Structure 1
Amino acid sequence: MSTPPLRIRKAAVLGAGVMGAQIAAHLTNADVETLLFDLPAKDGDPNGIVLKAIQNLTKLSPAPLADKSRAASIIPANYDQHLALLGECDLVIEAIAERIDWKRDLYAKIAPHLKKDSILASNTSGLSINALADVLPEHLHEHFCGVHFFNPPRYMHLAELIPCAKTLPEVVSGLEAFLTTTLGKGVVIAKDTPNFIGNRIGVFSMLSAMYHTQALGLGFDVVDALTGPAIGRPKSATYRTADVVGLDTMGHVIKTMDDTLPDDPWHQFFKAPEWLSGLVAQGALGQKTGAGFYRKVGKDILVLDPAKRDYVKETGTVSDEVAAILKIKAAPERLAKLRASADPQAQFLWASLRDLFHYTAYHLAAIADNARDVDFAIRWGYGWKQGPFELWQDAGWKQVASWINEDIAAGKAMSNAPLPDWVLDGRDGVHEARGSFAPSIGGLRPRSENPVYKRQYFPDRILGETPNLGSTIFETDAVRFWHLDADIGILSFKTKMNTISPAVLDGIQQAVTHAEQNLAGMVIWQFGEPFSAGADLGAASASLAAGKIDEFEQGVNLFQQTSMRIKHALVPVVSAVRGMAFGGGCEFQMHSAKTVAALESYIGLVEAGVGLLPAGGGLKELALRAAQSAIGGDVFGVLKNSFETIAMAKVSASAFEAKELGLLRATDTVVFNAYELLYVAITEARALAERGYRPPLPARAIAVAGDTGTASFKASLVNMLEGRFISPHDFEVSSRIADTLCGGVVERGSLVDEQWLLDLERKHFVALAQMPKTQERVMFTLKTGKPLRN
């Protein structure tokens, strides 16, 4: 008999600090009823500390809440009055300060109130889970573990799951499934060692970079130029990351390593550099205090110069030689040239990577089950494109291992600890299609067999893995139509940023026809982000520049008819959205039978930003939805939200916010784990087909706000124009948006059909596209990727 799934109806988070409050926010995002606990306030409302933390959630950027209204769903509580409420909770997450004595005291206090089968988890970033378990009653050991979220918990994919010695296997697997599907996390099972996997390797990488910064006399801004996107890491690189994390927090994590890893061969380096300690002593703790390694003065970003003990203007750039080396695509050649170069920047990169490889290989057996978990922990927790083992294997395992050995023998490495025997056993790496190296078995460990991963048709890949690309139905230069299951087709675009070109429109039409004739349904899904950046403006501008106005209008008409083809297909067309869905991409999903959107979907009809209006049926669809939802026939009242959204080119900050903006329907599905998106979309398409799906009837009696509605919108625009909040061309664009949404020059309450609204869209779009101000905006955006206000 299989283990029943873990059901979490209600949760509690203990500690309303930065992490605790944001964990509570993300549980609430996922519709988990959540209590947030902290100490009672000394004055006023006993829940004052928690209430302040909840209020602060609505102000933070990036936003912890998928929409601000969810803040009201978090239940405030305090330890003096509300401990009995813990008896209602299936999951309790402790997220107080990293003091083992404080955590133990809290556990002793709450233990009598926990129900027998509830799970207690600590969000500690590195304290021993077994040591924390000691204070708990014996029966709670089986339901206790570490669950370490990375900051900010809504956005960082990694969650480390750390069992204690007695944690039941079904608790671990159940939590893994809950974290994966409900909260959208990438779960790595870590061993109970200090700082676990992500911070053990990630913080060492930063310490190594700091050591070599000093040894080679490089500036902090130079090191950040070297250790950011130039080598596949986030823009925050090394020292900006430290500023974001907080230099006091960074110092604390380093001290934890110093205190808890006395036998580590690299122990002598587990000390905060003098300049880091000096900044902390001065109260310069990074971003939260306005100064750390960097300080912003006016519009200038200044960087600390340790020699001058003062901030100076940023001047750090990658040298020409190193820049040329980093452009080499072949990883073995790139790393060989870095090692051979006398340039201090090249030597810094080689030395930092060498010591990272050395440290990670030496400690693999102690901290993780296998090499895959280490690489995923660093990729998901620190935002690297490749983990340390992937970088090493990609650069040539045997050659790099011999170089590391040479440097150890020559005393150049940070430690003289020998490489493990398995590194030098003749292998070509640690990752293969069959699995990743696990020291405990001396062989390859395949991926987890937890049933939750059957929902991921295309999980995040590790080096050496090849995906099952399914069977191709047809393929062109612009699209591929294929399937994994014989009855549901999948359409994927092949254009840059998945933009929509005439060839993509043709591909959609062809796919719908094939699906109607041969399949139960189809899904529009992309292999990566974005879903679509919208219409290919460059292609459209070419025909316009050539004066082919009729051809240009025919192209717009084809776009509209393709949207309508999606909407009225005889089989369900489901859009699977993640990342950006702009312009035409947004319009296609609006016309789908259903949209399945990842939580982190950024959806918008952004054409006003380039002096145009949506003309792929988006305005038509908003007008139709307004008519369908208007209470008492007040269409204009419903359209106010839509007009503001389109005229201001608003983009949702989440899938939930897209519902608030009217760009997703209330009935559309939100998925928290983007790797489960295709599975859910196919399931939804099949469910619609099984229910005997029929497309909606053509709408022939749409009540519109008419010319009085347009006049009302224009009146507000005049005030904005006179106040110089908008330009004359903004007024022109917004007026045409208003005219389309309101149904043109007809009386209020007039009934029109969908084609009438499409014709209005197309007329205004073509007119705007011929205006010099719009053409300036389009060209500027194509060149810079930024909007122009002219």
Structure 2
Amino acid sequence: MTTIRTAAVIGSGVMGSAIAAHLANVGIRCLLLDMVPDSLSPEEEKAGVTLQHPNVRNRLAANAIAKLKTTNPAPLYSEAFAQRITPGNLDDHFGRLAEVDWIIEAVVENAAVKQALLQRIETVWKPGTVVSSNTSGISINAMAAGCGPELRKHVLGTHFFNPPRYMKLLEIIPGRDTDPAIVASMVRFGEKTLGKGVVVAKDTPNFIANRIGTYGLLVTLQEMAAKGYTVEEVDAVTGPAMGRPKSATFRTLDLVGLDTFVHVAQNVYDNVTGEAERAAFEVPELLRGMVARGWIGEKKGQGFYKKIKGPGGSEIQALNLATMEYAPSRKVSGAAIEAAKAAKGAGEKLKALLAAGDRYSELAWNVLKRVLVYSAERLGDIAESIADIDNAMKWGFNWEFGPFETWDLIGVARSVQRMENEGLTVPAWVKEWLAAGNGTFYRRAEGAIFYASGGSFAAQETRPERISLKALKEQGKVVKTNPGASLIDIGDGVVCLEFHSPNNAIGSDILAMIQQSVDEVRRNWRGMVIAGEGRHFCVGANLMLMLMEAQDEEWDTIDFMIRQFQSSMMLLKSLEKPVVAAPHSMTLGGGVEACLPADRIVFSAETYFGLVETGVGLIPAGGGCKEMALRQSKLLAGVPDADLQPLMNKVFETIAMAKTSTSGHDAARLGYMREADSVVVNPDFRVYEAKRQVLDMDAAGYVKPAEEKFRVVGDTGKAVLQMAAYTMKRGGYISDHDFLIASKLAHVLSGGDVPEGTLVTEQYMLDLEREAFLSLCGEPKTQQRMQHMLATGKPLRN
């Protein structure tokens, strides 16, 4: 297997620098090279330096690295990771390419430029080094044609989707001479180290995702022009109603840039031979005209949409294609759209959209049928398997279902019949597949997924690191379940506790399952993982229920709910078997408190982790305050005279300001990550890694640490925290109610009205949490905050 510890990226533009950032994210030291500037910047002229100064010669790469720290969304998991990228230039540092394990070119999308660069790379290339191109559609074979046979074995395409940190898809494109062992190794490296969903594409124009995605968008434009749909109507149909992102068609075009899209479409038009396919990729005059006007999307402030800022706020306007003038964007409604909105789940939404029978159903069907047929036509040309095509569209374009999964969903035989009735030619292999008695392109059996391949079903390749809770449940591996959570056997004597209530909010069902799971694991299992496969891990406790009880002044009920939450977290913490939490995405409030009692936390790289209760006028009361105070005390264990106050000041600021990590790695900055905690980059590997750590602890003879009293800062520390809050209030940064919440938080975190250095129990701290929480629930302004959050999803400042 190819070992990659160091890399070089050539080209420090948007993609090149973002690829370098993601390499730095996963611990790979990277050299970033660009051209030597031919003139001084105004700042350099003022400083009196010359073109020969190293800072001037490395300016393009250095500026790109600096920009990574301010770009939004952030390309880096942590700003500190920028130190892993070294700036350089193509004149002075080209020879250093011989020192790295992987060279990635990310220069301008021009075949001649890329070909010349590869030939220059060959002059310093170290045998064994992988060389790849981050091209979105230029032929790898043509690019490497002028290179020697040994280098060609090591050349391939690695097409990252933008932005590389966040987009799951990585297309790997071998050339005809690429060593298959290197391809296999890079696939594995892409999955395990880079955290990507990898598909292997053929060396054809635009590869897989951009080929089908561009075709689908052009088909949509053709249908729009033929039937007179508006920009808003098309986006209302081609977004979530069809299992596509909210950006739908035209917001996506504006984000990508119409100039970029035209270039991508033109690449297919110029490089395919079939007349029908060439015609499908002919760029409409509408797009060319908009590009000529400079209306290319968000980067120029207008495209199919334009944001107008006024005294009353911003207004989104949409382009009227008949007049080429902008007008306020209007909401679209119709039977099909309303039916899709009412349906539950992406699959049901699509079926409802297609079944309604109005002009919006017609738009959806006329676009969908052509995309499905085109995808089937391109099988074997752009990819070897339907699974690679489906995954490319899901991971690269954020479709809920790939083309062949969609076909299964709507009924293959029925839809093929309708397509043929409407004059569409369906590929022969699809009709042969149906004639052989197959009703779907995929089937599940014994926990494995099989897909149509060469006239029969082939097993989809699985990785042992990919543990699917959904598949395990289908195999009957559920040990216990209720409407809010399930306990699932994930093998080797380990179970996984999965939350699956709406938004994975913690309510009585989840708490009951935690209590049952602790008892079950204590008697029958080696340990437990806490993880899920929902959109988010857990967004906190059931706020709606809490608000209803507060408005009804059911204080005993709220007290019972908090006690139940606290006792459940303490049961997790006191379990005599190892527990590892594996959060992902939004992990907020009570979700954090469900992780903190675990022996270890395996964060997904994309975990947004924080105790955010102050945003709804409350404080953490499920053990969050107690755990954070306990952790600070433990950091100074054995040093009784050490000053605990600075650590508590930071915790107070983090919780009072509802700070949330911007990544799994960033949780360390906020004090949520311990030395034994870790981060996994590929979210599909989270459960496996958490299970592995459970087994490691069990094999090492796990012994639950005994509960001990811990030191608090007491009344003097509380005064320090409250003074900080008072200063914020006097400065106008926080409201009176914010100050009240902060004062309650300070009281809890400091350990209440006890002398500095007092040793307290965990239960004592839990009681403080509960008392403060209850008192805040009775505050009208807190209830207003809770109501506003439930209604808008945004915090209220009152």
TM bracket, shorter-chain basis = over 0.9
C-alpha contact 1:370 1:445 (8 A) present in aligned 2: no
- Corresponding position: 1:583 with 2:579: no
Q: How many residues align?
A: 769
1:456 Cα deviation after fit: 0.4
1:753 Cα deviation after fit: 3.0
Aligned equivalent of 2:765: 757
Corresponding letter in the other structure for 2:758: S
Aligned to 2:744, which of 736, 747, 754? 736
1:470 Cα deviation after fit: 5.3
- Secondary structure in structure 1 of the residue aligned to 2:126: coil
Aligned to 2:35, which of 23, 34, 39? 39
C-alpha contact 1:9 1:33 (8 A) present in aligned 2: yes
- Secondary structure in structure 1 of the residue aligned to 2:584: strand
Q: C-alpha separation between the residues in 2 aligned to 1:485 and 1:340?
A: 45
- Secondary structure in structure 2 of the residue aligned to 1:365: coil
Aligned equivalent of 1:770: 778
Q: C-alpha separation between the residues in 1 aligned to 2:200 and 2:136?
A: 14
C-alpha contact 1:371 1:431 (8 A) present in aligned 2: no
Aligned to 2:519, which of 499, 509, 513? 513
Q: C-alpha separation between the residues in 1 aligned to 2:306 and 2:645?
A: 49
Aligned equivalent of 2:663: 654
1:591 Cα deviation after fit: 1.2
Sequence identity, in percent?
38
Aligned equivalent of 1:289: 300
- Corresponding position: 1:136 with 2:147: yes
Aligned equivalent of 1:100: 111
Aligned equivalent of 1:67: 78
1:548 Cα deviation after fit: 3.7
C-alpha contact 2:527 2:579 (8 A) present in aligned 1: yes
Structure 1 residues 121-141: Cα deviation after superposition (integer angstroms, max 9, x where no partner): 111111111111212221112
Q: C-alpha separation between the residues in 2 aligned to 1:279 and 1:208?
A: 18
Q: C-alpha separation between the residues in 2 aligned to 1:550 and 1:438?
A: 59
Q: For 1:222-241, list aligned pairs within 5 A.
A: 222-241=233-252
Aligned equivalent of 2:48: none
Between 1:177-186 and 1:707-716, the stretch displaced more is 707-716
Cα RMSD, aligned residues only: 2.3
Between 1:485-494 and 1:347-356, the stretch displaced more is 485-494
Aligned equivalent of 1:563: 569
Q: C-alpha separation between the residues in 2 aligned to 1:538 and 1:339?
A: 35
C-alpha contact 1:601 1:653 (8 A) present in aligned 2: yes
Aligned equivalent of 2:333: 318
Aligned to 1:442, which of 452, 455, 466? 455
- Corresponding position: 1:493 with 2:502: no
Q: For 1:157-176, list aligned pairs within 5 A.
A: 157-176=168-187
Corresponding letter in the other structure for 1:712: V
- Secondary structure in structure 1 of the residue aligned to 2:515: helix
Aligned to 2:464, which of 436, 454, 462? 454
Aligned to 2:93, which of 58, 61, 82? 82
Alignment TM-score, normalising by the size of structure 2? 0.92
1:543 Cα deviation after fit: 4.2
Structure 1 residues 522-549: Cα deviation after superposition (integer angstroms, max 9, x where no partner): 1112232322121122333444444442
C-alpha contact 1:362 1:420 (8 A) present in aligned 2: no
Q: For 1:243-392, list aligned pairs within 5 A.
A: 243-298=254-309, 299-324=314-339, 327=342, 338=354, 341=357, 343-392=358-407
1:333 Cα deviation after fit: 11
- Corresponding position: 1:395 with 2:395: no
Q: C-alpha separation between the residues in 2 aligned to 1:467 and 1:160?
A: 31
1:76 Cα deviation after fit: 1.0
Aligned equivalent of 1:221: 232
Counterparts in 2 of 1:331 and 1:549: CA distance versus 1, 3 Å: closer
- Corresponding position: 1:529 with 2:544: no
Q: C-alpha separation between the residues in 2 aligned to 1:638 and 1:95?
A: 44
- Secondary structure in structure 2 of the residue aligned to 1:93: strand
Corresponding letter in the other structure for 2:276: P
Aligned equivalent of 2:633: 627
- Secondary structure in structure 2 of the residue aligned to 1:626: helix
C-alpha contact 2:580 2:598 (8 A) present in aligned 1: yes
1:310 Cα deviation after fit: 2.0
Counterparts in 2 of 1:237 and 1:665: CA distance versus 1, 3 Å: same
Structure 1 residues 214-250: Cα deviation after superposition (integer angstroms, max 9, x where no partner): 1111111221111111221101111111111111111
Structure 1 residues 367-399: Cα deviation after superposition (integer angstroms, max 9, x where no partner): 111111111111110011111222222111112
C-alpha contact 1:220 1:303 (8 A) present in aligned 2: yes
- Corresponding position: 1:113 with 2:124: yes
Aligned equivalent of 2:732: 724
Aligned equivalent of 1:481: 487
Q: C-alpha separation between the residues in 1 aligned to 2:714 and 2:22?
A: 43
Between 1:153-162 and 1:267-276, the stretch displaced more is 267-276
- Secondary structure in structure 2 of the residue aligned to 1:454: coil
1:628 Cα deviation after fit: 2.7
Aligned equivalent of 2:20: 24
Aligned equivalent of 1:614: 620
Counterparts in 2 of 1:727 and 1:293: CA distance versus 1, 3 Å: same
Counterparts in 2 of 1:748 and 1:243: CA distance versus 1, 3 Å: same
C-alpha contact 2:341 2:349 (8 A) present in aligned 1: no
Task: List runs of 5+ in structure 2 lacking aligned partners.
Answer: 41-50
Aligned equivalent of 2:10: 14
C-alpha contact 1:375 1:386 (8 A) present in aligned 2: yes
Aligned to 1:694, which of 681, 703, 711? 703
Counterparts in 2 of 1:337 and 1:235: CA distance versus 1, 3 Å: closer
Q: C-alpha separation between the residues in 2 aligned to 1:671 and 1:332?
A: 33
Q: C-alpha separation between the residues in 2 aligned to 1:248 and 1:749?
A: 65
Aligned to 1:679, which of 659, 672, 688? 688
C-alpha contact 2:604 2:682 (8 A) present in aligned 1: yes
- Secondary structure in structure 1 of the residue aligned to 2:606: strand
Counterparts in 2 of 1:239 and 1:633: CA distance versus 1, 3 Å: same
1:334 Cα deviation after fit: 6.8
Q: C-alpha separation between the residues in 2 aligned to 1:304 and 1:336?
A: 28
Structure 1 residues 567-611: Cα deviation after superposition (integer angstroms, max 9, x where no partner): 222111111111221112101211100011111111111110111
Corresponding letter in the other structure for 2:414: Q
C-alpha contact 1:226 1:318 (8 A) present in aligned 2: no
Aligned to 1:596, which of 556, 577, 602? 602
1:336 Cα deviation after fit: 9.6
Q: C-alpha separation between the residues in 2 aligned to 1:358 and 1:82?
A: 49
1:671 Cα deviation after fit: 0.7
Aligned to 1:638, which of 647, 651, 655? 647
Aligned to 2:716, which of 692, 703, 708? 708
C-alpha contact 1:608 1:648 (8 A) present in aligned 2: yes
Q: C-alpha separation between the residues in 1 aligned to 2:516 and 2:352?
A: 49
- Secondary structure in structure 1 of the residue aligned to 2:12: coil
Counterparts in 2 of 1:418 and 1:522: CA distance versus 1, 3 Å: closer
Counterparts in 2 of 1:636 and 1:621: CA distance versus 1, 3 Å: same
Q: C-alpha separation between the residues in 2 aligned to 1:429 and 1:502?
A: 40
Task: List runs of 5+ in structure 1 lacking aligned partners.
Answer: none
Aligned equivalent of 2:44: none
C-alpha contact 2:416 2:426 (8 A) present in aligned 1: no
C-alpha contact 1:369 1:438 (8 A) present in aligned 2: no
Corresponding letter in the other structure for 2:240: P
1:490 Cα deviation after fit: 1.6
C-alpha contact 1:25 1:71 (8 A) present in aligned 2: yes
Q: C-alpha separation between the residues in 2 aligned to 1:543 and 1:283?
A: 56
Q: C-alpha separation between the residues in 2 aligned to 1:735 and 1:385?
A: 46
C-alpha contact 1:231 1:326 (8 A) present in aligned 2: no
Alignment TM-score, normalising by the size of structure 1? 0.93
- Corresponding position: 1:550 with 2:560: no
